[in-house]
């Protein structure tokens, strides 16, 4: 499955991330992250004190100041490295997409002629002809013909897909290749606005905006930073009043250790990595907000045709009538379908193979194929031996047999009604004046859907199927698929109505679909996931596109959304809990010489004031790269209640965030104290 996890890091990505870590030191870039911007300003101040010791009168502390500067510099670089690393995979994927976006020629239809032009000259509304082996020059809709298209450049899947005029499988993407037949395509995008162009922009992170949750957390971190900045600034005159002299590097060290630098340095990386994880499952998220919202989904609305089911009526059973046997019914059904290229016709032959029933292909050789017509509602073949085989609507075949002087099996009506009552479509099969039996056609549910919907149920997500079918057929499909509820005979406005109804109850709603009629509902939903096999209108209305056209993939998307929220919350808890230990490391070290009573707070028994400050600062710096893998991979998600999830995270990351710095700072101090 293309949704399998791909390798997160390569040597090239790490190399570029290290380079970008220095480029991101630009203050204009750093200002977007207030916490790390404060650290950078502190780093610059200490650097000036190192470069101009006489001016700042710090000659005796040059070694200490230089050490503080280097630790602070690495703190900023590690934070930049985390963000650059998260962006790295997206840029690598964008490069591979750019390779597929080579300039190609196009066979543009100009009046009665076909003119070869460069693909960059095509505009919305132009019509092109694409034949076997040629690249599709731009995004468009198939308006004539049927072809097999290799979309591996976009989806990573090697298996070609069928694209045909009309319906929900007419959308084609520029940069993909036609591997069989010939199609006529109307271009639906201008240069620079194609699906690949949008993908490149999105996976590069160029258009990534901060999500509401991320903005709220950023505001909290900025507020905490301002509070601690005020505390540290006012601490200097208070210390002076007590007769304690606090150097500027010491105060800066205290500020950097107390502000939430850990989560501040990893916040952007978590958001970027969340979008990247969705991309690894071949789902293209148009915004981080959509990924984040997917973690809080309560209701899932699914279009039936092409989403839950294949969208084509498929033969599922041969039912003999009268005195005919099953092999006879199946044999003549196959003969009538040998030259029938419709999905129904092909499915009859596939069912024969599946049931290991045999037929003679040479029987139809030289016969004249009779195409389906709306007037006759039948198709079939006139054999060379004079026999006429027909397949079609039950009443149409009945009238045809009666016209031949034949009789109707007594059980035909009951068996055809039974198929209809199950939501299927009965097709009668006849040879001359005898009806041999029925073919049960039904819109087949895609494999594994029932199990996937059960997983959604365990996550607390309600599933609702929308279909234009009658209530009887809808109920049958809903039962087979395992959805919680369904809406039959639904129109586009009905889908929007149910989404708005759920949203009015305070629920977040996701919608998957692939047709133009799904576009309004996809736009209304909090998370709209369009199938890549669907129409351009559906893909433009949605805020996610599933490149594999697998609707059940919503489970992975929901899990990634929950994982993103959990990771952000867990690392925030860990970062703030860190401050408790760093408080016990630095505050006693700063004051215990002048105020011996402060020795009681030195519960870690650190070697000296200077070693305590440096140890806390070093721990503060190295914890960021140590947490990068967790920020990139995300906290493991397990379906459970919010209360249990909160308790689990507080226990692991809250308690861990308090204990880890005590152990880490003490171990670092054992080494630093020997050096100092």
Rg (CA), the chain: 34
Q: What number is the average pLDDT over the span 291-310?
A: 80
Q: What number is the average pLDDT over the span 447-466?
A: 84
Return the pLDDT at 4: 41
Return the pLDDT at 206: 43
Return the SS3 of 655: helix
pLDDT-based confidence at residue 38 (cuts at 50, 70, 90): very high
User: Which residues are within 8 A (CB) of 94 and not within 5 positions of it... i.e. 6 or more apart?
Assistant: 199, 200, 203, 204
- Positions annotated as catalytic residues are 303
Per-residue pLDDT tens over the stretch 157-194:
545 778 878 666 778 888 788 887 889 999 988 876 66
Quick one: angle between helices 248-258 and 212-241, nearest 10? 150
Given a cut of 60, whether residue 135 has pLDDT beyond it is yes
Burial class for 322, CB neighbours closer than 10 Å (0-12, 13-18, 19+): middle
pLDDT-based confidence at residue 540 (cuts at 50, 70, 90): confident
Tell how strand 161-164 and strand 105-110 pair up.
Answer: unpaired
- Contact assessment for residue 568 and residue 217, using Cβ atoms and an 8 Å cutoff: yes
Return the SS3 of 268: helix
Number of helices and strands in the chain (H, E):
24, 20
Residue 534 resides in a domain? yes
Closest CA to 586 of 68, 74, 2, 76: 68
Task: Give the number of residues written for the chain.
Answer: 676
Return the SS3 of 535: coil
Closest CA to 537 of 518, 510, 511: 518
Residue 111 resides in a domain? no
Residue 103 resides in a domain? no
Do 465 and 348 fall into the same domain? no
Given a cut of 50, whether residue 88 has pLDDT beyond it is yes
pLDDT-based confidence at residue 46 (cuts at 50, 70, 90): very high
Tell how strand 177-187 and strand 127-131 pair up.
Answer: antiparallel
Tell how strand 299-303 and strand 309-320 pair up.
Answer: unpaired
Per-residue pLDDT tens over the stretch 341-369:
777 888 898 899 888 888 888 877 788 88
Q: Is 344 annotated as a binding residue?
A: yes
| Interior angle at CA 252, CA 247 and CA 257, nearest 5 | 130
Q: Among 278-282, 413-417, 477-481, 500-504, which is the least confidently predicted range? A: 278-282
From CA 50, how far away is CA 246, in angstroms rounded? 17
Highest mean pLDDT among 56-60, 74-78, 139-143, 213-217: 74-78
DSSP 114-170: EEEEEGGG--TT-EEEEETTPBP-SSEEEEEEEEEEE-HHHH---S-EEEESSTTS-
CATH of the domain at 168: 2.70.150.10
Mean pLDDT, the chain, rounded, equals: 82
Q: Which of 547, 570, 588 is the last residue of a domain?
A: 547
User: Which residues are within 8 A (CB) of 75 and not within 5 positions of it... i.e. 6 or more apart?
Assistant: 39, 43, 256, 261, 265, 617, 620, 621, 624
CATH of the domain at 472: 3.40.50.1000
User: Which residues are within 8 A (CB) of 319 and not within 5 positions of it... i.e. 6 or more apart?
Assistant: 329, 415, 419, 437, 438, 439, 440
Do 454 and 499 fall into the same domain? yes
Query: Which position has the token pair 């919350």?
Result: 569
Do 642 and 611 fall into the same domain? yes
Do 364 and 485 fall into the same domain? no
407 CB neighbour count, 10 Å cutoff: 11
Given a cut of 70, whether residue 372 has pLDDT beyond it is yes
Do 579 and 599 fall into the same domain? yes
Closest CA to 602 of 581, 576, 579: 581
**The two three-digit tokens of residue 86, written as one number:** 């998260």
Given a cut of 80, whether residue 252 has pLDDT beyond it is yes
Tell how strand 544-546 and strand 283-285 pair up.
Answer: antiparallel
Q: Is 377 annotated as a binding residue?
A: yes
Return the pLDDT at 3: 40
Residue 115 resides in a domain? no
Do 333 and 438 fall into the same domain? yes
- Contact assessment for residue 274 and residue 267, using Cβ atoms and an 8 Å cutoff: no
Residue 118 resides in a domain? no
Q: Is 428 annotated as a binding residue?
A: no
Do 452 and 528 fall into the same domain? yes
Total domain count, the chain? 4
CATH of the domain at 431: 3.40.1110.10
Backbone angles phi, psi at 346, to 5 degrees: -65, -35
Return the pLDDT at 539: 79
Higher pLDDT pick, 202 / 547 = 547
Q: Which of 428, 444, 460 is the last residue of a domain?
A: 444
Given a cut of 60, whether residue 5 has pLDDT beyond it is no
Return the pLDDT at 44: 95
pTM score? 0.63
From CA 557, how far away is CA 551, in angstroms rounded? 10
Higher pLDDT pick, 456 / 205 = 456
- Contact assessment for residue 624 and residue 79, using Cβ atoms and an 8 Å cutoff: yes
From CA 299, how far away is CA 309, in angstroms rounded? 20
Q: Which of 162, 190, 218 is the last residue of a domain?
A: 190
Q: Is 372 annotated as a binding residue?
A: yes
Do 267 and 225 fall into the same domain? yes
Do 572 and 537 fall into the same domain? no
Q: What number is the average pLDDT over the span 307-327?
A: 84
Given a cut of 60, whether residue 97 has pLDDT beyond it is no
Query: Could you give the C-alpha distances from 33 to 215, 623, 630, in angstroms and in order?
Result: 11, 18, 20
**The two three-digit tokens of residue 569, written as one number:** 């919350």
Q: What number is the average pLDDT over the span 49-58?
A: 80
Tell how strand 509-513 and strand 527-531 pair up.
Answer: parallel
From CA 206, how far away is CA 90, in angstroms rounded? 10
Query: Could you give the C-alpha distances from 639 to 16, 151, 611, 670, in angstroms and in order?
Result: 36, 34, 45, 42
Residue 339 resides in a domain? yes
DSSP 469: S
Q: Among 285-289, 630-634, 668-672, which is the least confidently predicted range? A: 285-289
Burial class for 250, CB neighbours closer than 10 Å (0-12, 13-18, 19+): buried
Do 302 and 263 fall into the same domain? no
Q: Is 123 annotated as a binding residue?
A: no
- Contact assessment for residue 365 and residue 390, using Cβ atoms and an 8 Å cutoff: no
DSSP 305: B
Per-residue pLDDT tens over the stretch 560-612:
888 888 888 888 888 888 887 787 777 787 777 667 777 777 788 877 878 88
Q: What number is the average pLDDT over the span 529-541?
A: 77
From CA 405, how far away is CA 399, in angstroms rounded? 10
Q: What number is the average pLDDT over the span 285-297?
A: 79
Q: Is 375 annotated as a binding residue?
A: yes
From CA 615, how far away is CA 667, in angstroms rounded? 9
pLDDT-based confidence at residue 7 (cuts at 50, 70, 90): very low
Domain range for residue 381?
309-444
pLDDT-based confidence at residue 330 (cuts at 50, 70, 90): very high
Given a cut of 90, whether residue 654 has pLDDT beyond it is no
pLDDT-based confidence at residue 9 (cuts at 50, 70, 90): low
From CA 73, how far away is CA 252, in angstroms rounded? 13
Given a cut of 70, whether residue 195 has pLDDT beyond it is no
Do 269 and 380 fall into the same domain? no
* C-alpha 629 chain-centroid distance: 20
Calculate what percentage of the chain has a pLDDT beyond 70: 87
Q: Among 152-166, 197-211, 230-244, 657-671, which is the least confidently predicted range? A: 197-211
Q: Among 110-114, 235-239, 277-281, 395-399, which is the least confidently predicted range? A: 277-281
* 146 phi-psi bin (left φ>0, alpha ψ -120 to 50, beta other): beta
pLDDT-based confidence at residue 102 (cuts at 50, 70, 90): low
Do 218 and 88 fall into the same domain? yes
Residue 105 resides in a domain? no
Coarse DSSP helix, strand, coil percentages of the chain, rounded to the nearest 5 percent: 55, 20, 30
From CA 76, how far away is CA 466, in angstroms rounded? 51
pLDDT-based confidence at residue 333 (cuts at 50, 70, 90): very high
Q: Is 101 annotated as a binding residue?
A: no
Return the pLDDT at 207: 45
- Contact assessment for residue 228 and residue 258, using Cβ atoms and an 8 Å cutoff: yes
Closest CA to 579 of 613, 627, 620: 620
From CA 282, how far away is CA 398, in angstroms rounded? 49
Given a cut of 80, whether residue 220 has pLDDT beyond it is yes
Q: Is 373 annotated as a binding residue?
A: yes
- Contact assessment for residue 262 and residue 627, using Cβ atoms and an 8 Å cutoff: yes
Calculate what percentage of the chain has a pLDDT beyond 90: 17
Q: What number is the average pLDDT over the span 432-459?
A: 85
Residue 116 resides in a domain? no
Return the pLDDT at 443: 75
């Amino acid at each position: 499955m293309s949704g399998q996890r791909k390798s997160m890091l390569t040597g090239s990505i790490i190399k570029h991330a290290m380079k970008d870590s220095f480029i991101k030191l630009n203050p204009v870039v750093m200002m977007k992250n207030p916490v790390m911007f404060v650290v950078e300003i502190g780093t610059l101040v200490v650097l000036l004190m190192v470069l101009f010791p006489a001016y700042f009168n710090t000659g005796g502390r040059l070694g200490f100041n230089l050490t503080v500067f280097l630790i602070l510099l690495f703190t900023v670089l590690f934070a930049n490295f985390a963000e650059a690393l998260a962006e790295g995979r997206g840029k690598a994927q964008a490069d591979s997409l750019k390779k597929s976006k080579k300039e190609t020629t196009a066979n543009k239809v100009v009046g009665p002629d076909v003119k070869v032009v460069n693909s960059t000259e095509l505009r919305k509304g132009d019509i092109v002809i694409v034949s076997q082996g040629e690249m599709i020059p731009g995004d468009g809709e198939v308006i004539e013909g049927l072809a097999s298209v290799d979309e591996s450049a976009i989806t990573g899947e090697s298996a070609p897909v069928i694209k045909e005029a009309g319906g929900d499988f007419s959308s084609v993407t520029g940069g993909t290749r036609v591997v069989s037949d010939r199609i006529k395509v109307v271009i639906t995008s201008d240069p620079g606005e194609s699906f690949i162009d949008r993908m490149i922009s999105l996976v590069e992170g160029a258009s990534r905006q901060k999500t509401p949750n991320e903005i709220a957390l950023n505001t909290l971190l900025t507020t905490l930073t301002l509070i601690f900045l005020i505390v540290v600034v006012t601490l200097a005159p208070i210390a002076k009043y007590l007769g304690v002299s606090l150097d500027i590097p010491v105060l800066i060290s205290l500020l950097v250790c107390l502000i939430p630098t850990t989560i501040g340095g990893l916040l952007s990386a978590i958001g970027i990595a969340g979008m990247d994880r969705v991309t690894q499952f071949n789902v293209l998220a148009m915004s981080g907000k959509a990924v984040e919202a997917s973690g809080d989904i309560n209701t899932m609305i699914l279009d039936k045709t092409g989403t839950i089911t294949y969208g084509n009526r498929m033969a599922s059973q041969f039912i003999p009538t009268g005195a005919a046997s099953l092999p006879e019914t199946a044999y003549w059904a196959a003969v009538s379908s040998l030259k029938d290229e419709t999905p129904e016709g092909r499915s009859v032959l596939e069912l024969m193979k599946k049931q290991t029933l045999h037929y003679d292909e040479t029987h139809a050789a030289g016969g004249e194929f009779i195409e389906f017509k709306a007037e006759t509602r039948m198709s079939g073949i006139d054999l060379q031996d004079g026999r006429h085989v027909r397949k079609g609507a039950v009443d149409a075949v009945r009238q045809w047999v009666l016209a031949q002087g034949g009789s109707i099996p007594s059980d035909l009506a009951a068996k055809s009604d039974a198929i209809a009552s199950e939501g299927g479509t009965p097709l009668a099969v006849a040879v001359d004046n005898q009806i041999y039996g029925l073919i049960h056609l039904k819109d087949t549910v895609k494999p594994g859907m029932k199990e996937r919907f059960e997983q959604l149920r365990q996550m607390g997500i309600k599933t609702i199927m929308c279909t234009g079918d009658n209530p009887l057929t809808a109920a049958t499909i809903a039962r087979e698929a395992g959805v919680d509820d369904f809406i039959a005979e639904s129109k586009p406005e009905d889908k929007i109505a149910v989404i708005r109804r759920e949203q009015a109850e305070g629920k977040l709603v996701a919608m998957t679909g692939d047709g133009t009629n799904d576009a309004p509902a996809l736009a209304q939903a909090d998370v709209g996931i369009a199938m890549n096999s669907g129409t351009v209108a559906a893909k433009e209305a949605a805020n996610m596109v599933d490149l594999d056209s697998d609707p059940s993939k919503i489970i992975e998307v929901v899990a990634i959304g929950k994982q993103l929220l959990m990771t952000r919350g867990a690392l925030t808890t860990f970062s703030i809990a860190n401050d408790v230990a760093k408080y016990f490391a630095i505050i006693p070290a700063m004051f215990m010489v002048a105020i011996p009573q402060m020795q009681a707070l030195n519960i870690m028994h650190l070697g000296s004031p200077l070693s305590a400050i440096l140890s806390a600062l070093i721990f503060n710096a190295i914890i960021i790269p140590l947490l990068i893998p967790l920020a990139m991979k995300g906290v493991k998600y397990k379906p459970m209640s919010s209360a249990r999830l909160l308790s689990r995270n507080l226990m692991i990351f809250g308690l861990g965030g308090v204990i880890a710095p005590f152990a880490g700072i003490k171990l670092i101090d054992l080494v630093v104290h020997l050096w100092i």
